[in-house]
């Protein structure tokens, strides 16, 4: 009964609407060729496959920015599929490989230590000291060493803590630890970048590559033979650590870290996902190489740690481990190595090699 009336009223309203909006219809196309193109494609789709909504769902899935009234970063993206790849890489390949590589490295160092022990000098100490590092060099090295260690440990807590620590100490305690780790990591990170830059300019002169470094590499620095291969102030191993570790890893980890640490510059999720994978991969290499460096600088070789702490080494140490450097000092080419030279350093006296 009422239906015809309703229909008539609706038709009149519709007619009025169409008349009213007529000029609008005439204007709307051709404003933007891309939009006109999309409209044409849509019309074609309606003719050819009138019931198929598939293009809409492809578009939903595509990650292409659309339109929204919600303010904010990437609110106009319906689905960002790259996060799934990030998740698969982070929880899969990257953490599995990095984790086992670190375990293997620690085991290898342990085996080396228990088979060879601390590498001792072959000649007795002379009691005469040479200045190997200035106060500035030691300060910047320690600043780097401490910040590197904080970053490495806090980073490991964030990546592996969920599986290794959380079951041991429980949710609340681990959350506190993770908050501490996250904030230490985020605030110490930029400090470490400053250290890397200063460290680079401090040590770059003596890390330039020399021909005799190839010989050192060919013989693994004498690690598996009786004697050291002669080297300058820094041997080829230290130089590899300087260029590959400090420079390459330092710059890549630092740059990717800054992208993650300062999300206030409106970088997208996609950028941060890539930065995170790069950061994790290269930081793992950095830690692997760092373990070797830390081992050699502490318990691996007698005298190395004292050099880093006091700045002085015994002449016998210099002659055995850095013969070309020692020769240069003896030839008077490096007068600063003889500056402020105390007798034997107390540490070397107490722990004769």
Give residues in contact with other proteins (CB under 8 A). 28, 35, 38-39, 42-43, 45-46, 49-60, 66-70, 72-81, 83-84, 86-87, 90-91, 158-159, 161-162, 166, 171-172, 174-175, 178-179, 182-183, 186-187, 190, 260-264, 269, 272-273, 276
**Residues 6 or more apart from 233 whose CB is under 8 A from it?**
132, 206, 322, 325
Closer residue to other proteins (CB): 275 or 282: 275
Q: How far apart are CA 202 and CA 224, in angstroms?
A: 31
CA-closest candidate to residue 263, choices 251, 275, 252: 275
Closer residue to other proteins (CB): 62 or 298: 62
CB of 257 to other proteins, least distance (A): 10
Q: Report whether 301 contacts 351 (CB < 8 A).
A: no
CB of 206 to other proteins, least distance (A): 34
Q: How far is CA 105 from CA 44, 101, 119, 289, 293, in A?
A: 62, 6, 19, 9, 12
CA-closest candidate to residue 279, choices 312, 255, 244, 314: 255
Q: Report whether 303 contacts 210 (CB < 8 A).
A: no
Closer residue to other proteins (CB): 236 or 283: 283
Length of the chain: 353
Place of tokens 């290269």: 282
Closer residue to other proteins (CB): 23 or 332: 23
Place of tokens 């050819």: 48
CB of 173 to other proteins, least distance (A): 11
Q: How far apart are CA 287 and CA 292, in angstroms?
A: 9
For 303: left if phi > 0, alpha if psi spans -120 to 50, otherwise beta; the answer is: left
CB of 197 to other proteins, least distance (A): 19
Q: How far is CA 65 from CA 43, 77, 271, in A?
A: 22, 5, 15
CB of 295 to other proteins, least distance (A): 28
Q: Report whether 249 contacts 234 (CB < 8 A).
A: no
Closer residue to other proteins (CB): 109 or 272: 272
CB of 67 to other proteins, least distance (A): 4
CB of 249 to other proteins, least distance (A): 21
């Amino acid at each position: 009964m009422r239906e015809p009336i309703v229909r008539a009223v609706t038709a009149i309203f519709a007619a009025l609407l169409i008349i009213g909006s007529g000029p609008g219809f005439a204007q709307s196309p051709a404003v933007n060729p891309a939009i006109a193109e999309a409209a044409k494609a849509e019309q074609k789709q309606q003719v050819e496959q009138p019931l198929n909504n598939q293009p809409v769902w492809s578009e939903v899935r595509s990650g292409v920015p659309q339109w929204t009234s919600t303010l904010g970063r990437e609110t106009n993206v319906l689905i960002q599929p790259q996060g799934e790849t990030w998740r698969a890489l982070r929880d899969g390949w990257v953490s599995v490989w990095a984790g086992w590589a670190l375990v293997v490295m620690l085991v290898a160092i342990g085996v080396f230590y228990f088979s060879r022990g601390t590498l001792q000098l072959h000649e007795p100490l002379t009691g005469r000291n040479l200045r190997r590092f200035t106060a500035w060099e030691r300060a910047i090295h320690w600043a780097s060493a401490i910040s590197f260690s904080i970053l490495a440990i806090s980073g490991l807590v964030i990546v592996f803590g969920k599986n290794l620590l959380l079951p041991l100490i429980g949710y609340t305690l681990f959350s506190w630890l993770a908050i501490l780790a996250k904030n230490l990591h985020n605030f110490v990170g930029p400090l470490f970048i400053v250290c890397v830059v200063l460290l680079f300019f401090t040590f770059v002169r003596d890390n330039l590559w020399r021909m005799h470094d190839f010989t050192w590499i060919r013989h693994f620095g004498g690690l598996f033979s009786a004697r050291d291969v002669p080297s300058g102030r820094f041997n080829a191993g230290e130089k590899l650590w300087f260029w590959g570790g400090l420079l390459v890893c330092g710059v890549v980890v630092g740059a990717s870290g800054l992208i993650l640490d300062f999300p206030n510059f409106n970088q997208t999720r996609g950028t941060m996902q890539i930065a995170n994978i790069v950061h994790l991969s290269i930081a793992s290499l950095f830690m692997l190489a760092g373990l070797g460096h830390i081992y050699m600088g502490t318990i691996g070789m007698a005298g190395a740690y004292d050099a880093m702490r006091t700045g002085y080494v015994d002449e016998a140490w210099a002659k055995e481990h850095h013969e070309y450097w020692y020769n240069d000092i003896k030839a008077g080419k490096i007068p600063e190595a003889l500056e402020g030279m105390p007798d034997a350093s107390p540490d070397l006296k107490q722990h004769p090699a």
